[in-house]
C-alpha cells in the first residue's frame, strides 16, 4: 500500500508530460499562423498604399538667341538656356475612391529655379458627376491652362504671349466646382471658381481678391470663360 502511494504521483506526472508537450506545440502553431496573417495584412496594406500613390514629372530644356540685339520676345544675341527651361514634379494620392490629394511643384529657369507650388489641393467627386476642389489651383481661363508648362503637350514651342500673358497670374488659392454632362461620344464640363491670388515678381507686387469666374469649355474651341476680380495694390 505504501509502495502504491509513493508511485502514484510519479505515474500521474509521467502521464501529463506528453499532453503538456502537445499543448505547447499547438500554441506555437497558432502563434505562427497569427504572425503569418499579420504579415499578410501588413503587406496588403502597404501594397494598397503604394497603388494609391502616383508620381510623375516633366522637364523642358530650351535654347534661345537672336542674330541681332533687338531683343524680340526676350531673345538677344547672347545665348540663353534658362528663359524657357523648366522642371516640374507632381504627386497624387487617392485617399479613397472619391477623394484625391494633388501636389505639383514647378521650377523655372527664368525664376532662378525657385521652387513654387502650382497645385496643392484636395478634390472630392460626388456620385452625380459633381467635382469639388479646394486649395491652390490653376486659373482655368485658357485652352492649355492645366498643362501650360508641359512643353510636349502643346502644339508650339512657346505659348504665345499675346494670348497667355494678358493674365499675369497662373494659379489662385480658393476652390472650384465642376459638373460633367455625359453625351454618347463626348463630355461637356461646366465649371465655376473663386478665390484670391498674389503676384510678386520683379517689380510687380499685386494682390487680387474676390476672384470669381466661370468656364464652359467647348468640344473643339477653347470655349467661353469669364473672370471678375478686385485688385489690391
Q: Are residues 121 and 171 in the same domain?
A: yes
pLDDT category, 3, cuts 50, 70, 90? very low
Taking residues 163-175, report their average pLDDT.
Answer: 84
pLDDT category, 220, cuts 50, 70, 90? very low
pLDDT digits (tens, 9 = 90+) for 61-80: 888 888 877 777 777 777 88
pLDDT category, 174, cuts 50, 70, 90? very high
Phi, psi of 130 (to 5 degrees): -85, 135
Cell of 226: 469669364
Q: Are residues 99 and 197 in the same domain?
A: yes
Q: Are residues 19 and 120 in the same domain?
A: no
Taking residues 95-114, report their average pLDDT.
Answer: 90
Q: How many domains does the chain have?
A: 2
Q: Are residues 102 and 208 in the same domain?
A: yes
CA atoms within 13 A on the CB side of 73: 12
What integer pLDDT is reported at residue 104 of this predicted model? 93
Which among 52, 76, 95 is the end of a domain? 52
Rg for the chain, CA atoms, rounded: 32
pLDDT category, 120, cuts 50, 70, 90? very high
Q: 230 or 62, which is more confident?
A: 62
Q: 138 or 75, which is more confident?
A: 138
Q: Are residues 98 and 207 in the same domain?
A: yes
Q: Are residues 91 and 27 in the same domain?
A: no
Output the average pLDDT for the chain. 77
Q: Are residues 40 and 92 in the same domain?
A: no
Q: Are residues 91 and 141 in the same domain?
A: yes
Reply yes or no on whether the pLDDT at 186 is more than 70: yes
What integer pLDDT is reported at residue 89 of this predicted model? 92
Q: 112 or 201, which is more confident?
A: 112
pLDDT digits (tens, 9 = 90+) for 26-52: 777 777 778 777 777 666 665 567 788
Please count the other Cβ atoms lying within 10 Å of the Cβ belonging to residue 96. Answer: 8
71 within some domain? no
158 within some domain? yes
Whole-model pTM: value is 0.67
73 within some domain? no
Domain that holds residue 19: 1-52
42 within some domain? yes
Q: 219 or 178, which is more confident?
A: 178
CA atoms within 13 A on the CB side of 8: 5
Which position has the grid cell 460633367? 180
Q: Are residues 214 and 100 in the same domain?
A: yes
Rounded Cα distance between 47 and 51, Å, is 6
Rounded Cα distance between 44 and 37, Å, is 10
Lowest mean pLDDT across 40-54, 113-127, 158-172: 40-54
- Cα dist. 178→76, 102, 193 in Å? 43, 17, 9
Taking residues 74-90, report their average pLDDT.
Answer: 83
Q: 101 or 111, which is more confident?
A: 101
70 within some domain? no
Q: Are residues 30 and 99 in the same domain?
A: no
Max distance between CA atoms of the chain, in angstroms, equals 125
81 within some domain? no
Please count the other Cβ atoms lying within 10 Å of the Cβ belonging to residue 179. Answer: 14
Percent of the chain at pLDDT above 70? 77
224 within some domain? yes
Q: Are residues 137 and 224 in the same domain?
A: yes
Please count the other Cβ atoms lying within 10 Å of the Cβ belonging to residue 197. Answer: 20
Q: Are residues 34 and 100 in the same domain?
A: no
Lowest mean pLDDT across 118-122, 130-134, 165-169: 165-169
74 within some domain? no
Amino acid at each position: 500500500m505504501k509502495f502504491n502511494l509513493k508511485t502514484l504521483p510519479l505515474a500521474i506526472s509521467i502521464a501529463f508530460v506528453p499532453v503538456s508537450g502537445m499543448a505547447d506545440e499547438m500554441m506555437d502553431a497558432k502563434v505562427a499562423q497569427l504572425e503569418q496573417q499579420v504579415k499578410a495584412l501588413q503587406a496588403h496594406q502597404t501594397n494598397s498604399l503604394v497603388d494609391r500613390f502616383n508620381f510623375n514629372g516633366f522637364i523642358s530644356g530650351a535654347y534661345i538667341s537672336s542674330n541681332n540685339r533687338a531683343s524680340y520676345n526676350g531673345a538677344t544675341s547672347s545665348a540663353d538656356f534658362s528663359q524657357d527651361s523648366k522642371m516640374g514634379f507632381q504627386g497624387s494620392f487617392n485617399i479613397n475612391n472619391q477623394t484625391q490629394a494633388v501636389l505639383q511643384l514647378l521650377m523655372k529657369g527664368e525664376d532662378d529655379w525657385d521652387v513654387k507650388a502650382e497645385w496643392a489641393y484636395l478634390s472630392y467627386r460626388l456620385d452625380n458627376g459633381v467635382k469639388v476642389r479646394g486649395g491652390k489651383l490653376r486659373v482655368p481661363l485658357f485652352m492649355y491652362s492645366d498643362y501650360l508648362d508641359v512643353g510636349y503637350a502643346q502644339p508650339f514651342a512657346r505659348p504665345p504671349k499675346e494670348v497667355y500673358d494678358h493674365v499675369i497670374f497662373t494659379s489662385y488659392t480658393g476652390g472650384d466646382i465642376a459638373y460633367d454632362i455625359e453625351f454618347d461620344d463626348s463630355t461637356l464640363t461646366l465649371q465655376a471658381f473663386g478665390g484670391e491670388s498674389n503676384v510678386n515678381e520683379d517689380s510687380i507686387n499685386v494682390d487680387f481678391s474676390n476672384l470669381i469666374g466661370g468656364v464652359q469649355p467647348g468640344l473643339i474651341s477653347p470655349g467661353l470663360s469669364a473672370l471678375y476680380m478686385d485688385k489690391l495694390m
